[in-house]
Structure 1
Amino acid sequence: MSVEPAAVIEQRTSLDPTTIADIIGFVEQVTDADGVNPLDEHVTLHIREGGDAHSVHLVARSGTSLVGYAHLDITDEVDGPIAQFAVHPDYRRHGIGRLIVTDLIDRSPGGRLRLWTHGENSAATHLATSLGFQRSRVLWQMRRSLLAALPRVTLPPSVRIRGFRPGRDDDAWLEVNARAFAGHPDQGRWTADDLRLRMRESWFDPEGFLLAVTGEGAVERVVGFHWTKVHGVSAPEGDSHGHTPLGEVYIVGIDPDWQRLGLGRTLTIAGLAHLRSRGLTQALLYVDAHNTNAIKVYESLGFVRWDTDVLYAR
């Protein structure tokens, strides 16, 4: 398909309802064509909310058609801005991706930019390397059948597992999340607003948000958690999914004082058992490719590598 007129990029710091709907529809078309969502959950949630004060949206249109989109997060002053982008399947091989990424580079101080690509994508790899990017981080997606047997759960003494209580456990969870991910600010810096956004999602299930706690009543302490997620749940706004429901090991975090006791493995197994109890037959998770210890644990639980996300930097 020829692109006439040439794509024009518009910068937005906030999104009106019409543009939000356009972007959501655009992302669904890209996902259907590629088999993978071009945007991560955090970006998707903020698009639905109309954006936030720390993000820039680049909307590329050819005439009235939305042909490309990019999200630029400028909050990280240490590692630099980070972006995600996509081009409509019908408008590829016309230089729109290069136009968008070049624009992102121009908007980044000193041209310093990190760029996520989701799924094995040779075109994105070629574009990134041709513009001076190098691989910075690799995430594996791993999957496991839930039809296979699960190991028995063995808890450390004095620890029990219960479900999350919205409105009561929020602060305690934010505290242990910050401690568990102190070295990973993209997760460890989550705020109450970040938590509330996810609790409003159609997939949120407090029974699948497992907390490991010690003590009782006023002296109870959250020492770890496994937040599970289900992909493929019909949302009120009519989001569609081209697959049967799929469970996810969404986040597993352990308080540093309670690490190396096998609690992470135990919570992972407990979460998988919960997903299986909901009738799901498969689970996925994401893990850094260099985190060999975690990969060994997941492989021992029956997970195998399925797909790859790559973070490029320049």
Structure 2
Amino acid sequence: MVEPTRARVAVDVRAGALGAEEADAVRRLVADAAAQDGVAPVSEQPLLWLRSDEAPVVHVLARSGAAADGELAGYAQVDVGATTSASAELVVHPSARREGVGTALLTTARETAARVPDRTLRVWAHGATPAARSFAAAVGMPVVRELWRMSLDLADRPDRPDRPLPPHVTVRPFVPGEDEEAWRRVNSRAFAYHPEQGRMTSADLRAREAEAWFDPAGFLLAEREGLLLGSVWTKVHAAGELGDEPVGEIYVVGVDPDAQGLGLGGALTDLGLTHLAARGLRRAVLYTGAENEVAIRTYRRVGFEPESVDVMFGSDTPGSPGGVTMAP
């Protein structure tokens, strides 16, 4: 469906996978915005979902001018996989800001969320830029969630051995084509409370395996008598993504609820950091919810400290607007 707005912006709403050319156009748009703002306006998951037929999302493409074949000026992705709230991520090209593109995207995202009665809309603002906070305040949208990025100088890690694994627990690398379902089951149990991580599907996992950064040597599984108890998954960001040098990430640490309390999470975190340091990386990051005080205390004991924050703007009122990463 394509309909021109009063701001002469043509909004195209799509379900299902985008075509290859459209997906590439969205990636270029995201890259241009990131280069301008110093922070990626769209996270990893929406980019992986651009070409997915299984993703529970709606794509919103905004083009300059009234014609649908105009230049891509903005993009929004609305995750409609939950019935109580929909989440969205939006980006406006630097050359098209303050021309109503952000407002057009936001309006369409609200309408998309409202297709289910009483469903609210929440929108991520990566980097929590002043423009995002100002726009959210103008439309009456409070911060409902914060995601911290914490960082650690790997050279400053204490000179001590990794914390020991629990008795009879062994660690081995992930084997593509064999370990997916076992890992996904434990991940779902470990993150049953988490609105994104706990919903990771087999298709989501396979999409990450197809990414250039995926390295099974840095994806470690902890087992006892052949039963998977937990894992640490690391990632390496190329130079330019999070700084001038490559940066390691503790991507996911998950422990089955039946194995919690054994100290496995801390031991796996140490193994992940040791793996990243062995690759010659000088900095590591991880992401955690600001509300997760237990995890934050644990990570601070290791040496991690907050360095940036993403915020989610929301409302308890169905159909209410959300914040955006740039001024409209």
Q: Provide the TM-score with structure 1 as the length reference.
A: 0.90
Q: What secondary structure sits across from 1:113 in the alignment?
A: strand
Cα distance in structure 2, aligned partners of 1:241 and 1:266: 26
CA deviation after TM superposition for structure 1 residue 111, in Å: 6.8
Cα distance in structure 1, aligned partners of 2:257 and 2:18: 40
Which of residues 11, 14, 30 is equivalent to 2:13?
Answer: 11
- CA distances 1:42-76 after superposition (whole Å, capped 9, x unpaired): 111111x2554521111111142211110011111
User: In 2, are the aligned partners of 1:20 and 1:50 still within 8 Å (CA)?
Assistant: no
Q: Which residue of 2 aligns with 1:221?
A: 227
Which of residues 224, 227, 230 is equivalent to 2:236?
Answer: 230
Q: Which moved more, 1:97-106 or 1:282-291?
A: 97-106
The answer to whether the aligner puts 1:75 opposite 2:81 as a matched pair is yes
Cα distance in structure 2, aligned partners of 1:289 and 1:302: 17
Q: Which amino acid aligns with 1:253?
A: G
Which of residues 111, 120, 123 is equivalent to 1:115?
Answer: 123
CA deviation after TM superposition for structure 1 residue 258, in Å: 1.4
Cα distance in structure 2, aligned partners of 1:303 and 1:289: 14
Equivalences for 1:57-96 in 2 at 5 Å?
57-63=59-65, 64-78=70-84, 80-96=85-101
The answer to whether the aligner puts 1:166 opposite 2:176 as a matched pair is yes
CA deviation after TM superposition for structure 1 residue 252, in Å: 0.4
Q: What secondary structure sits across from 2:188 in the alignment?
A: helix
Q: Provide the TM-score with structure 2 as the length reference.
A: 0.86
5+ residue gaps, structure 1: 234-238
5+ residue gaps, structure 2: 1-6, 316-328
Q: What secondary structure sits across from 1:28 in the alignment?
A: helix
User: In 1, are the aligned partners of 2:78 and 2:86 still within 8 Å (CA)?
Assistant: yes
The answer to whether the aligner puts 1:104 opposite 2:115 as a matched pair is no
Inter-CA distance 183–173: structure 2 relative to 1 (3 Å threshold): same
Q: Which amino acid aligns with 1:135?
A: V
Equivalences for 1:107-256 in 2 at 5 Å?
107-109=112-114, 110=118, 112-150=120-158, 151-153=160-162, 154-215=164-225, 220-232=226-238, 243-256=244-257
Cα distance in structure 1, aligned partners of 2:56 and 2:199: 14
User: In 2, are the aligned partners of 1:30 and 1:86 still within 8 Å (CA)?
Assistant: yes
Inter-CA distance 156–242: structure 2 relative to 1 (3 Å threshold): closer
Aligned Cα RMSD in Å?
2.0
Cα distance in structure 2, aligned partners of 1:53 and 1:253: 23
User: In 2, are the aligned partners of 1:74 and 1:82 still within 8 Å (CA)?
Assistant: yes
Q: What secondary structure sits across from 1:173 in the alignment?
A: helix
User: In 1, are the aligned partners of 2:83 and 2:119 still within 8 Å (CA)?
Assistant: no
Q: Which amino acid aligns with 2:284?
A: A
User: In 2, are the aligned partners of 1:98 and 1:127 still within 8 Å (CA)?
Assistant: no
CA deviation after TM superposition for structure 1 residue 241, in Å: 8.2
How many residue pairs are counted as aligned between the two chains?
A: 300
Q: Which residue of 2 aligns with 1:280?
A: 281
Q: Which amino acid aligns with 1:100?
A: L
Q: Which moved more, 1:239-248 or 1:175-184?
A: 239-248
- CA distances 1:222-241 after superposition (whole Å, capped 9, x unpaired): 111110001117xxxxx988
Cα distance in structure 1, aligned partners of 2:129 and 2:22: 27
- CA distances 1:96-133 after superposition (whole Å, capped 9, x unpaired): 21221122112222572011110021111222232232
User: In 2, are the aligned partners of 1:71 and 1:83 still within 8 Å (CA)?
Assistant: yes
Q: Which runs of 4+ in 1 moved over 4 A?
A: 50-53, 239-242
User: In 1, are the aligned partners of 2:78 and 2:112 still within 8 Å (CA)?
Assistant: no
User: In 2, are the aligned partners of 1:27 and 1:37 still within 8 Å (CA)?
Assistant: yes
The answer to whether the aligner puts 1:313 opposite 2:314 as a matched pair is yes
Q: Which amino acid aligns with 1:232?
A: A
Q: Which residue of 2 aligns with 1:236?
A: none
User: In 2, are the aligned partners of 1:210 and 1:225 still within 8 Å (CA)?
Assistant: yes
Relative contact order (C-alpha < 8 Å, sep 6+): which is higher? 2
